A and B are shown apart, each in its own frame.
Chain A
Amino acid sequence: MKEEIKEEKKPEVKVYSTPTCPYCYKAKDFLKEKNVEFEDIDVSADQEKAKEMIEKSGQMGVPVIEINGKIIVGFDQGAIEEALGEK
């Protein structure tokens, strides 16, 4: 008998951050608590990625969180949960 393995699709998550920003750490801790894997992008050290973040979010503040293409500006727990499909 063939066993079907249901794979849950992991969300694609990027966090655009700087090492000096407290809300960036809070956002990353929040995702870690939820066991959500993410790519952490230090925009203070990567000009290309900084440009990418500004183009996507239309502003220069961090953190910017991208979840499956949805852009969340700032640390907004409710918006993160909604984008993860938890709400």
Chain B
Amino acid sequence: MNQEGLIKTWERFEQGKDFMLNPDRAHVKGVADGVLANIEKYGSRFCPCRLRDGTKERDLELVCPCNFKTQDAWTKQERCWCGLFVKRK
């Protein structure tokens, strides 16, 4: 998996949803690089902006794309914590 491939999976994921990838492409690439670094280090697509606690159950919640609609950031700022996905206007 490389940066382009990862972004393509996110583009497929957002199709037909009420959210989309952040229009700031540089930001999306930054998140992709962070996720790729975590794949390299931990073997999973962990969120680059939140810490793991090492427990399987909790760490699974950090696999990107996560269940970001339950987050405060989604309610208050209409984006996931990382700013990868934003509410579609």
List the interface of chain A (C-beta within 8 A of B): 18-25, 43-44, 50, 54, 60-62, 74
- Asked if A60 and B82 make an inter-chain contact with CB atoms under 8 angstroms apart, the answer reads no
In Å, the complex CA distance between A23 and B47 comes to: 13
- Asked if A22 and B81 make an inter-chain contact with CB atoms under 8 angstroms apart, the answer reads no
Tell me how far the C-beta of B42 lies from the nearest C-beta in chain A, rounded to whole angstroms: 11
Give the total number of A-B pairs whose CB atoms are below 8 A apart.
Answer: 45
In Å, the complex CA distance between A37 and B34 comes to: 25
- Asked if B49 and A62 make an inter-chain contact with CB atoms under 8 angstroms apart, the answer reads yes
Give the interface residue-count category, chain B.
Answer: 10 to 19
Which residues of the other chain, B, contact A20 by a CB distance below 8 angstroms? 33-35, 37-38, 48-49
User: Which residue of B35, B37, B38, B83 is within 8 Å of A23 (Cβ)?
Assistant: B83
- Asked if A50 and B48 make an inter-chain contact with CB atoms under 8 angstroms apart, the answer reads no
Which residues of the other chain, B, contact A62 by a CB distance below 8 angstroms? 49-51
With an 8 A cutoff between CB atoms, is B73 at the interface? yes
Find the residue from A18, A22, A54, A60 having the highest chain B CB count within 10 A. A22
Which residues of the other chain, B, contact A19 by a CB distance below 8 angstroms? 37
Q: List 8 A-B contacts (CB under 8 A).
A: A18-B51, A20-B38, A21-B82, A22-B30, A22-B49, A23-B82, A43-B51, A61-B81
With an 8 A cutoff between CB atoms, is B31 at the interface? yes
- Asked if B73 and A74 make an inter-chain contact with CB atoms under 8 angstroms apart, the answer reads yes
- Asked if B73 and A22 make an inter-chain contact with CB atoms under 8 angstroms apart, the answer reads no
In Å, the complex CA distance between A25 and B33 comes to: 13
- A20-B38, A74-B73 in contact; A25/B30 too (CB < 8 A)? yes
With an 8 A cutoff between CB atoms, is B27 at the interface? yes
